Amino acid sequence: MRARVLLILVGLACLAALPLFATSYYLYLAELAMINVIIAVGLNLLSGNCGQISLCNASFMGVGAYCTALLSTRLMLSTLISLPVSVVISALLGAALGYPARRLSGLYLALTTLGFLELVGIVIEEFPEYTGGIRGLKVPRPEIFGFSFQSNASLYFFVLALTIGAVVVGYNVRRSRYGRAFDAVRQSPFAAQALGIPVARVKVIAFSLNAAFAGFAGSLLAGVVGFIDPPEFGVLTSIQHVTFIVVGGLGSITGSIAGAVLLTALPEALRGVQEYGELIYGFVLLGTLLFLPRGLVGVVAKLKALRSAKPSAKELAYGAP
């Protein structure tokens, strides 16, 4: 336990010290990775813990991004207002999807979310006077009380602080009774219902939370990159989000962080192979899924179990891998 806390503190210290020696390229990558961590944590709550498959995560991210973009460029609102408003709007949209979809599961749910994603994309493109349509939209840097996060370091710390906050919130949700309700719904909706858990409401809350996290991340992305366009929030991006949690480890916060960081770094690391990058990415992904079906977290658990012959508490609860 002590070791874990120490590890986290050292990690945070390294992150805090990053602007001292990293170029703006690495700071930017770190920011992208952190935004993806927020995405992964949110998606894991919905899909990993609550077991609801969602292929439209990128849409909620897009909603958050476009809301922030419009609020800050059209209404000149400070990030202090535009960020929470974007999150709320995304959350509401998540609930709006989650409620009618509460009876669906598996394939049907996946397809519903896919349809939702395509419709959101169409809406974005249909109102170019507001959203810039296919030509995209410029977004100013985040700004609070007149202070604009123009410098590399200030933007980095802004994103870092918010990411830590989001991870803490995600962690607390998991440990709360909602988190336990999510797990119960995933394992057996019937049993959960029998235990008095309002399964439908829990699902809607899970969708809403997921959308909130995604909207939060989208809002940050818009400020960090400064320019957004519809393909950024399409099917491929949604799939990428799912890869974060599948490769990292379903249902686990650590897994979310690991998966998001790794899969943000991977395409950048593949720059050297130029046009073969996509192909190699596909193979790496496939390999990871075939050989590490429980994700990175599963690998760690397996190693731990190998070291001590006793089954871990996780295995006792969920069965051996």
Partner 1 sequence: MTWRIILQLALSGLSIGSIYALVGLALVLPFKASGIVNFAQGEIVTFGAYLALILSGLGLPYLAVVPLVLIGAAAFGMVIERILIRPIVSQPEFTLVIVTFAIGLIIKAGIRLHWQDNTFSIDAPFVGPPLALGALRLNPAYLVFIASMLVVVAALFVFFGYSKFGKAMRASALDSIAARLMGIRIGSVFSAAWALSTMLGAFVGLLLGPVIGINPEIGHLILKGLVAAVIGGFSSLGGAVAGGLLLGLLETYAGAFFGATFKNVVPFGVLILLLLLRPQGLAGASSARRV
Partner 2 sequence: MLGKGLRGLLCAAAALYALAGLARAEEPGVTQDGITIGAFGPITGPAAYIGLAGRDGANLAIKEINAAGGINGRKLQMIFEDDGHSPTKALAAVKKLIDQDHVFMIFCVAGSNGTLGTIDFVRENGRLMYVSFASAPGVTWPFARNMFRGGTTEVPRYGELYAEYLHDYLKATKIAILSGREEYPKNEGEALTAQLKKWYDVAPVKRAEFNIGDKDFTPQLLDIQGTNPQVIALFGNPAEAAIAMRQAKELGMNQPFFVGPTMVDQGLLTAAKQAAEGASGFALIPLLPTSSNPEMKTWLAKWKQEYPNLPAGRPNTFDLLSYADIYVVADALKRAGKDLSTDRLIDALEATNEYRVGAIATPRSFTKKHHIGNLRLQAMQVKNGEWEPVPFESKRESDILKRYQ
| Of 152, 193, 237, 312, the one binding partner 1 by CB under 8 A | 193
Span between the terminal Cα atoms of the chain, in Å: 24
Distance CA 263, CA 245 (A): 10
Distance CA 158, CA 256 (A): 21
Among residue numbers 31 through 50, which ones bind partner 2 (CB under 8 A)? Answer: 32
Contact 82, 262 (CB under 8 A): no
Using CA of residue 79, residue 84, residue 89, residue 91, what is the dihedral sign? positive
Q: Nearer to partner 1 by C-beta: 226 or 287?
A: 287
Distance CA 231, CA 229 (A): 6
Contact between 189 and partner 1 by CB under 8 A: the answer reads yes
Neighbours of 156 (CB within 10 A): 24
Contacts of 199 (CB under 8 A, 6+ apart): 102, 185, 189, 192, 193
Shortest Cβ 58–partner 1 spacing (Å) = 14
Record the tokens describing residue 271, joined without a space: 């720059």
Q: Nearer to partner 2 by C-beta: 15 or 299?
A: 15
Contact between 29 and partner 2 by CB under 8 A: the answer reads yes
| Of 21, 145, 190, 291, the one binding partner 2 by CB under 8 A | 21
Shortest Cβ 169–partner 1 spacing (Å) = 23
| Of 123, 125, 180, 294, the one binding partner 2 by CB under 8 A | 125
Contact between 221 and partner 2 by CB under 8 A: the answer reads yes
Contact between 191 and partner 1 by CB under 8 A: the answer reads no
Q: Residues 196-219, buried b or exposed e (16+ Cβ, 10 A)? A: ebebeebbbbbbbbbbbbbbbbbb
Contacts of 65 (CB under 8 A, 6+ apart): 86, 139, 218, 219, 221, 222, 228, 232, 233
Contact between 47 and partner 1 by CB under 8 A: the answer reads yes
- Interacting span for partner 1 (CB under 8 A) from 32-40, 199-207, 253-261, 296-304: 199-207
For residue 102, the Cα-to-chain-centroid distance in whole angstroms is 21
Contact between 111 and partner 1 by CB under 8 A: the answer reads yes
The amino acid sitting at 196 is: G
Contact 41, 47 (CB under 8 A): no
Distance CA 36, CA 72 (A): 22
Q: Nearer to partner 1 by C-beta: 65 or 199?
A: 199
Place of tokens 């995604």: 214
Q: Nearer to partner 2 by C-beta: 4 or 271?
A: 271
| Of 10, 11, 17, 126, the one binding partner 1 by CB under 8 A | 126
Place of tokens 């409620």: 99
Q: Nearer to partner 1 by C-beta: 100 or 311?
A: 100
Contact between 279 and partner 1 by CB under 8 A: the answer reads yes
Contact between 138 and partner 2 by CB under 8 A: the answer reads yes
| Of 112, 131, 208, 219, the one binding partner 1 by CB under 8 A | 112
> Which of partner 2, partner 1, none does residue 153 bind (CB under 5 to 8 Å by kind)?
none
Contact between 23 and partner 2 by CB under 8 A: the answer reads yes
The residues of the shown chain that bind partner 2, judged by CB under 8 A, are 17, 20-21, 23-26, 28-29, 32, 125, 133-136, 138, 221, 225-229, 231-232, 267-268, 271, 274-275, 277-278
The residues of the shown chain that bind partner 1, judged by CB under 8 A, are 47, 53, 55, 100-108, 110-112, 114-116, 118-119, 122, 126, 189, 193, 199-200, 203, 239, 242-243, 245-246, 250, 275-276, 278-279, 281-283, 285-286, 289-290, 293
